[in-house]
Amino acid sequence: LGESIDRAGALKQELRVEHDGSMSLPDQEAARRCNDLFTAGTYGPCLASLQQLKGTRTIETKLALNTVVCSYHQHGGGNVKGFFDELSRVKSGIEALKISQQEQAGDDVAIVDVETALLRLNYAGAALRLRKYGTAEETLDGLFNSIEPLDEVLAIRLCMMLLDSLARGQAGHKSPERAAQIMMQLEKTVKIVLDKASAAGVKGGEG
């Protein structure tokens, strides 16, 4: 599961960068090129293209995540500890930035938000593979408490990973009530996905 999250996460994140309205046309082209290169498994050129992207602060998290993920795959995807450490570094930097923004604005700035969701899913996925179940559970819990803004695909991944961390963690931390709550959210989200697919099928049939 951790492997699928870090690879799919990079693709998902790059697609979001590609359609970011704040980007210039050359940067949009560079983002499309990154996506194509990553999909083709040509990670060196993909990393070079990522370096060309000089977007606004709103996409810095996406660029940082994609760079870490692409580098991880370029080196064969075997160094999970190094991947985890790099994600931890990026995650700490983003959190420090948001806390600074919060202090300057005197307003609430969400530390856990949609922008950082894929970063945190990758971090939790690497933690699971390293058997750091407490770290994974804590990270996923924070995301679960802010699950509503996430798209359905990310929400489903989140629920499955959180159930995995609960099942593999220490016996004293296991809560049937918590697991039931996550299962209810998972069922609700899957139903939304199926309803959307059914509605799209009906529209397609009418066309």
pLDDT in tens, 123-146: 999 999 999 988 999 999 988 988
Top mean-pLDDT range of 12-26, 102-116, 154-168: 154-168
Alpha-carbon gap, residue 118 to 65, rounded angstroms: 8
Amino acid at 19: H
- If we measure between CA atoms, which residue out of 26, 61, 30, 60 comes closest to residue 47? 30
Q: What is the pLDDT of residue 16?
A: 44
Arithmetic mean of pLDDT, 21-36:
76
Alpha-carbon gap, residue 140 to 71, rounded angstroms: 24
Is pLDDT of 154 > 50? Answer: yes
What tokens appear for 24 in the block? 């210039």
Residues 6+ apart with CB under 8 A from 143: 112, 117, 120, 121, 124, 150, 158
pTM, full prediction? 0.79
Work out the number of other CB atoms within 10 angstroms of the CB of residue 190.
14
Q: What is the pLDDT of residue 190?
A: 94
Alpha-carbon gap, residue 93 to 66, rounded angstroms: 15
61-117 tens-digit pLDDT: 778 888 888 898 888 888 999 999 999 999 898 888 777 777 777 665 555 566 678
